[in-house]
């Protein structure tokens, strides 16, 4: 167990070592057990977290607000449009000032080529931990919750377990690429063989794909890229299928939508789930475009763990906050 996390930022998935992630998971499982037993966990009494949102949220806001309350502290919800950021407050000023008001700063900023840079600029100026609630490159807290959920369902030893991280069609909007990027970076470190599957117009950042391959080599696992949804699903222990935009191909919304609409058959249904192992689980960070990305039959079926996954967002986040802000 590593206990040197006080004051640390969590912005990218590799900011914490594998051993440090294991510490986070140990604490998360303990916090979940204590909540089930109704045991108080006031590790952050009188601490205050600033939650700065540039991008709308359901689970992220709810889980951070509830989590801070469970830890004995308070979370201040700050919608960026209600601030003076558009009128001149710079990222450095936000870091300097909020770092003096609050005990931690959490930011969600998913604008392409802006979000991660902004969070890092705030962190550079802040005297308190800065936590990435999702940016254009990473979604580390979702990935920690995903890892926690997989361990609950498949055991702590994940070596030789296969996860397919698959693109899926969505009609709603061109979604960020941060979730699949975090998954392919983190899962090889815990022994999982990763298959990344997407249509050729929907690649992830080449440096992230290269880093994932490097992690797989380091930890003796597999990292493969395929361009066929059925091929990706074959013999998977974990199916993680969601949509993301073709941001490396085009940033034009209309062109992106045209490309997306070419692949309406990339939907997770019962037939595709049968290609995976019989005891495979289906995961999705939510919200999902029902009967577009994934059928209701799968989302609400016995293989789906999406609500356990959503719950674990709170426990994983609480662990990081307790370890970094305490």
pLDDT for the residue 86: 87
Overall CATH class of domain 18-139+313-325: alpha beta
Q: What is the pLDDT along the chain (326 residues), one digit of tens a residue?
A: 998 999 999 999 999 999 999 999 999 999 999 999 999 999 999 999 999 999 989 999 999 999 999 999 999 999 999 999 989 999 999 999 999 999 999 999 999 999 999 999 999 999 999 999 999 999 999 999 999 999 999 999 999 999 999 999 998 889 999 999 999 999 999 999 999 999 999 999 999 999 999 999 999 999 999 999 999 999 999 999 999 999 999 999 999 999 999 999 999 999 999 999 999 999 999 999 999 999 999 999 999 999 999 999 999 999 999 999 99
- Tokens representing 97? 């000032």
Give the SS3 label for residue 44: coil
Query: Exposed (0-12), middle (13-18) or buried (19+): which is 178, by Cβ within 10 Å?
Result: buried
Quote the longest CA-to-CA distance of the chain. 55
Which CATH architecture is the domain 140-309 placed in?
Answer: 3-Layer(aba) Sandwich (3.40)
pLDDT for the residue 147: 98
Q: Rounded to an integer, what distance in angstroms lies between the CA atom of residue 319 and that of residue 312?
A: 11
CA-based torsion, 246, 259, 53, 70: positive or negative: negative
CB-CB contact of 244 with 267 (8 Å):
no
Q: Rounded to an integer, what distance in angstroms lies between the CA atom of residue 151 and that of residue 113?
A: 33
Domain(s) labelled CATH 3.40.50.1370 in the chain stretch across 18-139+313-325, 140-309
From the list 140, 118, 121, the residue with the least C-alpha distance to 131 is 140
Number of Cβ within 10 Å of residue 293's Cβ equals 24
Q: Global pTM?
A: 0.97
Alpha-helical regions (H) of the chain:
18-36, 59-70, 91-101, 115-125, 140-154, 178-186, 206-219, 229-233, 253-260, 270-273, 296-299, 306-325
Query: Exposed (0-12), middle (13-18) or buried (19+): which is 127, by Cβ within 10 Å?
Result: exposed
Q: Rounded to an integer, what distance in angstroms lies between the CA atom of residue 61 and that of residue 52?
A: 10
């Amino acid at each position: 167990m590593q206990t040197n996390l006080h004051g640390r930022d969590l912005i990218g998935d590799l900011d914490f070592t594998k051993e440090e992630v294991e510490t986070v998971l140990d604490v998360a499982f303990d916090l979940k057990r204590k909540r089930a037993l109704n045991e108080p966990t006031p590790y952050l009494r009188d601490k205050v977290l600033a939650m700065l949102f540039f991008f709308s949220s359901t689970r992220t806001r709810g889980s951070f607000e509830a989590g801070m309350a469970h830890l004995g502290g308070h979370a201040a919800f700050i919608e960026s449009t209600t601030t003076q950021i558009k009128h001149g407050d710079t990222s450095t000023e936000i870091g300097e000032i909020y770092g003096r008001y609050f005990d931690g700063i959490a930011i969600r900023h998913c604008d392409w080529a802006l979000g991660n840079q902004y969070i890092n600029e705030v962190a550079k100026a802040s005297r308190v931990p800065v936590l990435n609630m999702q940016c254009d490159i990473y979604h580390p807290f979702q990935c920690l919750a995903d890892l926690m959920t997989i361990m609950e369902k498949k055991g702590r030893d994940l070596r030789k377990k296969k996860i397919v991280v698959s693109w899926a069609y969505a009609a709603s909007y061109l979604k960020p690429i941060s979730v699949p990027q975090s998954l392919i970076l983190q899962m090889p470190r815990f022994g999982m063989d990763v298959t990344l599957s997407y249509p050729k117009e929907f690649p992830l950042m080449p440096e992230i794909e290269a880093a994932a391959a490097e992690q797989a080599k380091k930890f003796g696992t597999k990292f493969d890229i395929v361009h066929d949804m059925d091929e990706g699903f074959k013999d998977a222990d974990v199916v993680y299928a969601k949509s993301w935009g073709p941001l490396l191909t085009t940033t034009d919304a209309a062109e992106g939508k045209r490309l997306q609409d070419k692949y309406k058959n990339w939907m997770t249904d019962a037939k595709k789930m049968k290609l995976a192992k019989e005891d495979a689980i289906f995961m999705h960070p939510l919200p999902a475009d029902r009967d577009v990305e994934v059928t209701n039959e799968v989302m609400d079926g016995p293989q789906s763990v999406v609500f356990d996954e959503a719950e674990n967002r709170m426990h994983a986040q609480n662990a990081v906050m307790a370890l970094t802000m305490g």
